[in-house]
Chains A and B, each alone.
Chain A
Amino acid sequence: MANVRGCNLPDDLYYLIEKHVWAKPMGGGVIRVGITAVAAKLTGGKLAAITVKAKNIGQEVLQGKSLATVESSKFVGPVPTPVTGVLLRANEKLAADPNLAVSDPYGEGWVAELQASDWDGQKGTLATGAEGVAAYQAKLEADNISCS
């Protein structure tokens, strides 16, 4: 668990830093995906909805393409997937309370799960471990982003 500029960034996750999303292998090639504490901060706080595109369930979504959308009263943006995979399911808890993605972005507030198409081939493109957190920190410093 690392705290960088007030942002909680666990070092056991895999980050697509540019898009502020994380991936976590759940076993059997299933990858859980969510937004980072940084993304939660950038949305401006209170969320109105996180919607996974229902049409995409059962379909392959390519790395970097949108698998869900985040809406607040002042912001709207995509949740790009950190890895290519077939979309398995959305986190149904977010339908009732989208702000779980803000209050618990790495736990109850995960966004979706995918069956990764090529995890071993793509995980190298993601940032992880102490080195990954340091790379994320560099990005936050370059963009002057803090969560506090």
Chain B
Amino acid sequence: MADDKVMIIMTSGPDTPRRCATPFFFASLAIAMENEVTMFFTIDGTLLLKKGMAETIYPKAGGKPVSGFLKDAMDAGVTFLACTASMELHDLKAEDLIDGVKMVGGATMWQVAEDCKTVLTF
């Protein structure tokens, strides 16, 4: 287990806008604290990675859209993994997702989780 690796599992999606900014914010924060950070998107979380989707979701009316928080996390160096089974759940194809996302199976989630000191789930 590495003491500087953390993982955030994101299951919340467009149906719960208020749950969709903080996980990205926490990911950026962990990078700022010199951690290596992976976000694993599954269940409805994967929908946030659909092209154009995050731009339409506002955790706070009139505030910053989820896409802004997502971009901050990606720019900070967070690794984005999308669960292939959840893509099938939502009929998403690889080309439907934004750039910079790697598609992986559920077993990868376990492998990353076992190598992390902290795993958070939203």
- Residues on A lying within 8 angstroms of B by beta carbon are 53, 65-66, 69-71, 73-78
Contact = CB atoms under 8 A, between A and B. Distances in A.
Contacts, number: 26
B33 A66 contact: yes
**Interface SS majority for chain B:** helix
Contacts of B32: 66, 69-70, 76-78
Contact of A69 (B33, B63, B68): B33
Interface of B: 25, 28-29, 31-34, 63-64, 68, 72
Nearest to B24: A76
B64 A76 contact: no
A131 B25 CA distance: 37
Contacts of A76: 25, 28-29, 32, 72
Contacts of A73: 63
Given A66-B32, A74-B68, A76-B28, 16 more contacts: A53-B33, A65-B34, A66-B34, A69-B29, A69-B32, A69-B33, A70-B32, A74-B63, A74-B64, A75-B72, A76-B25, A76-B29, A76-B32, A77-B28, A77-B32, A78-B31
